[in-house]
Structure 1
Amino acid sequence: MVRKAIIGPVLLLLGAYFLLNPVGEFSTGYVFAHFWPSLFVIPLGLFFHWMYFSMLGGKGEGLLIPGGVLLVTGVVCQVAMLMDNWDSMWPGFILAPAAGLFEFYWFGGRNKWLLIPICILTVLSVLFFAIFSLGSLLNEKLFGQPIFAILLVLVGITLMISRKKPV
């Protein structure tokens, strides 16, 4: 049962990846170079979660902090490795401690003061994700500099010719 639950999705994801990105060679070096987060970081994060939920019976909430950090960091690294977009995925590293602290808050004593760093880190991460995603969209050929410049000119003209409405 456990073998099917773990190996099945791993083989499914690996097969889908190779269908979408055909490679001329399949070697151990290639697998380690592209899937190191799935081989080392994500399983360690899952191990911490397994320890908390299965072995300790809901005690030892402190295990959830490194578990959440490692899990989110592993997912961010894996997506960045497969999509080759490290330049826009780095805000995920800011989100990782927020995820670990949120798990600690949710399954722990619900200390309301933990919500302050959780919210600050989450807002920063989402803000940076939005800024860098928008920046990469504007740098694409579809939304290049000429279209951005025309958009700025049009907004400027609209602001200049619009009438002030009396209050």
Structure 2
Amino acid sequence: MMNRDTIIRIIIGAIMVLLGIFTIFVKSFTLNLWLLLIWIPAVFMEYRAFSGRDRNLFVPAGVLITIAVILSLNVIFPGFITEGGWALFIAAPAVGLFQSYFGREEKDKGVLTAASFLSALSILFLLISVAPTVLGIFIGIVLLGVGGLVVYKNLRTIRR
């Protein structure tokens, strides 16, 4: 039976093999290799925080993981940050604070309040950023519905 450290080393080795294959065969992966400089410490800090070795790493680990996800999404979907994804950067400290609040035995209401405020602010800015698109679709649906209703009522009165 393998112990926990052996399993972790096997997983890390497998990830390194996959990264090597991607580096050799996927050209665009090499152009975005800089993302590993964010992902690797983020995952390492998350592991240390959740394993109980260093609970003080919850906040920086949450911040780095969130930033790594945002930057990865921007690589996968070019323009993600400029078209509204920038609002998620405000959520980065909120993720770390939520992890810190739920990961500790003693619950500090101030941490929860700050995390909730930052989350609400991030969601508000995200909604404001995507509002023109969503608002345009909503207005289009309303216009279709009202216009269809007007046409239907007028056609009904003509047939009488």
* TM-score category (smaller protein): 0.5 to 0.7
Q: Is the 8 A contact 1:65 1:101 kept in 2?
A: yes
Matched, 1:51 2:48: yes
Deviations 1:5-42 (A, max 9, x none): 4546x95xx98xxxxxxxxx943xx32433532x1212
Deviations along 1:34-74, one digit per CA (max 9) or x if unpaired, are 3532x1212211111222334xxx25321111001000110
- What are structure 1's unaligned runs of at least 5 residues? 16-24, 155-167
Correspondences of 1:142-153 after superposition (within 5 Å): 143=137, 147=140, 151=143
1:86 partnered with 2:81: yes
The code of the aligned residue for 2:118 comes to L
Displacement of 1:127 after TM fit?
A: 1.5
* Partner residue, 1:20: none
Q: Which residue of 1 aligns with 2:126?
A: 129
Identical amino acids, percent of aligned pairs? 28
How far apart are the structure 1 equivalents of 2:116 and 2:50?
A: 25
In 2, Cα distance between the equivalents of 1:74 and 1:137?
27
Where is the helix percentage greater, Structure 1 or Structure 2?
2
Which residue type is aligned with residue 120 of structure 2? V
Deviation track 1:94-113 (CA, whole Å, cap 9, x = no partner) reads 00000111111111221111
Counterparts of 2:112 and 2:118, CA distance in 1: 10
Residue in 1 aligned with 2:31?
Answer: 33
Structure 2: gaps spanning 5 or more residues = 1-6, 147-160
Q: Is the 8 A contact 2:50 2:103 kept in 1?
A: no
CA distance in 1, matches of 2:9, 2:77: 28
The number of residues matched between the two structures is 133
RMSD after superposition: 3.5
Contact 1:35 1:81 in 2 (8 A): no
Residues 5 and 59 of structure 1: CA distance in aligned 2, closer, same or farther (over 3 Å): closer
Give, in whole Å, the separation in 2 of the partners of 1:136 and 1:124.
20
Equivalent residues of 1:35, 1:78 under 8 A apart: no
Gap change, CA 1:82 and 1:61, over 3 Å in 2: same
- The runs of at least 4 consecutive aligned structure 1 residues that moved more than 6 Å come to none
Q: Call closer, same or farther: CA 1:129–1:5 in 2, change over 3 Å.
A: farther
Q: TM-score w.r.t. structure 1 length?
A: 0.63
Separation in 2, partners of 1:4, 1:136: 46
Partner of residue 101, structure 2: 105
Q: Secondary structure at the match of 1:90?
A: helix
Q: 1:26, 1:48 → 2: CA distance?
A: 28
Conservation of the 8 A alpha-carbon contact between 2:48 and 2:55: no
Cα distance in 2 between the residues matched to 1:31 and 1:122: 31
Any conservation in 2 of the 1:34–1:82 contact (CA below 8 Å)? no
